Chains A and B, each alone.
Chain A
Amino acid sequence: MSRSEKTDPAPSLQWMWANIFRKGDADQVAIRESIEKIPLFQDLTKKELRRVEQSLYLRKYRADSFIFQAGEPGLGMYIIHAGSVWIQRPEEAVSDDSEPFLELGPGDFFGEMALFEENFHLVSARAHTHTALLGFFRPDLMTLSHYYPRLGCKLLLALGRVISDRFRASLTGGPGRA
């Protein structure tokens, strides 16, 4: 997993400083805007959105660092808040310069299958640029659906829809997402 820093340190430093002096509230507003646009959360009411938002984790990744690697146990999904992420099959991940299997941008999400089953990640996810992700994990999904069954139903239906869309797309050979 050791990987030499490809980008020069200056932008990453700037990025870090910019984030250190950012107010928590600004983050909160940005997160709200970010998740309101995501199809997964379309059916939720304002109140439900706020509850989901409270169980999200904002994580920041430097360019070229792994978010997870194939073979690691998966715990949940990530929504891209800013930046871009490369999804790579394990055989592609061996060399750095290989074209990604998929390139995802803000508003996209990945890893949603891990919300349902405790299993290995089949692919690796790597931050292509400096990236901020919103993590949504199985324990929080469980807690949410335990205390708010209605919200849980909506989330699970939406997730099922996404997964069946992707499955259909993979059968017909079309692109995996809208």
Chain B
Amino acid sequence: MDMENRPYWFRRLLWVLILLGSAFALYIVRNTLIPLFISMLIAYLLTPLADYLEHRGFGRILAITTTFFLFFGLIVLVVLYLFPLIRDQVVDLTTALPRTLALLNTRIDDLQARLAVYWPAIQEVDVGVRIQKAALDTLNALPTYVANAFSIFPLLILVPLISFFFLKDGRRIKRGFFNSVPNRYFETVMGLTYEVDQKIGNYVRGQLLRSVVIGFLTYFGLKICGLKYALLLAIFAGVMNLIPYAGPFIASIPAVILAILHQSTPQALLPFVSPLPLVVHVILVYLMVQTLDAIWVAPYILGWSVDIHPLGIVLVLLFGNQLFGWWGIILAVPAASIIKLTVQAVSNRYRFYPT
């Protein structure tokens, strides 16, 4: 009954077994973890507003309901507003694709012909046809791919539901948890929970704000350049920014390709002012957005950073992809940062102990 009297190795072994067991249990239910995790992020995002309203004299329930409907109402409005635009851009992109590909093909043939002067063997490779085939295959698979990978409909129901209850009962859940902690660990656990809570909250709110800022900056930059599909590309950039290092780079690839293939729209002002080709403008936009992010947005919003080694990030992304697919890639680094914050806080606190 008294754990203190058991031998040291026994306690160690027990902990290891408990950890392994929990990891395995989590692995089995991993498909449920995504909506749970997203709901948790939303709860972190909304808690300050709900608390503020509550302390302004709203009742707890009224404060939460208000916050909740404001948030999801805003999302619905944004989606309703953006959806036609996005749909138009997607349709436009799809119908324009054969022409775009043909254009790409002639460019590649051109390049091949020029290179063949120095390296005749290159004439044999059918680069254009291969690219065309790959692009068309990807495009044809896109609808099912998106539907499968993001399986959005269960999320649409689960996420609001779970986040509502997190928001409503989070405090009670926490209190119940504290009450169940043995006296010996009580203060430690409570201090830790508070610390981790604060840090995760700041991180989540910071990252989201950052993505939004990046999206806006990219949108206006591309609009000024006169690149088509600015909205799609900006949303993509905002989401991709959650992935460190590779994200911004990946975000810029489609924009650069589109810029190479398309002339700017006639109503854009910049091309008449500057003699540089569109692609240079687009690259400059992405570079400027990244610079602004590095010197202004990230330090200001995040304040402190969760440093994960680049190799660690690559591994985390791979694990995320393997376990959770696309969601895994997008949410891997936030999840890993949260885990790292927790571990840091725990080890910091344990360093205090004399034993």
Interface SS of chain B: helix, strand, loop or mixed? helix
Q: How far, in whole Å, are A15 and B179 apart by their CA atoms in the complex?
A: 18
Given that A2-B4, A72-B353, A73-B349 are contacting pairs, would A147 and B187 also be in contact in the complex, using a CB cutoff of 8 Å?
no
- B190 near A137 with CB under 8 A, answer yes
B309 in contact (CB, < 8 A): no
A50 in contact (CB, < 8 A): no
Q: Which of B51, B184, B191 contacts A75 (CB 8 A)?
A: B191
- B184 near A59 with CB under 8 A, answer no
Residues of B within 8 A of A1 (CB): 4, 184, 355
- B51 near A71 with CB under 8 A, answer no
Residues of A within 8 A of B81 (CB): none
A74 in contact (CB, < 8 A): yes
Interface membership of chain A positions 66-97, coded 1 if the CB is closer than 8 angstroms to chain B and 0 otherwise = 11100111111000000000000000000000
* CB of A66, distance to nearest CB on chain B (Å): 7
Chain B residues near A (Cβ < 8 Å): 2, 4-5, 51, 55, 175, 178-179, 183-184, 186-188, 190-191, 194, 349, 352-355
A61 in contact (CB, < 8 A): yes
Chain A residues near B (Cβ < 8 Å): 1-2, 57, 59-61, 65-68, 71-76, 120, 135, 137-139, 147-148
- B187 near A72 with CB under 8 A, answer yes
Q: How far, in whole Å, are A75 and B187 apart by their CA atoms in the complex?
A: 6
- B179 near A57 with CB under 8 A, answer yes
* CB of A111, distance to nearest CB on chain B (Å): 9
- B179 near A66 with CB under 8 A, answer no
- A59 near B183 with CB under 8 A, answer yes
Q: How far, in whole Å, are A2 and B184 apart by their CA atoms in the complex?
A: 11
* CB of A27, distance to nearest CB on chain B (Å): 11
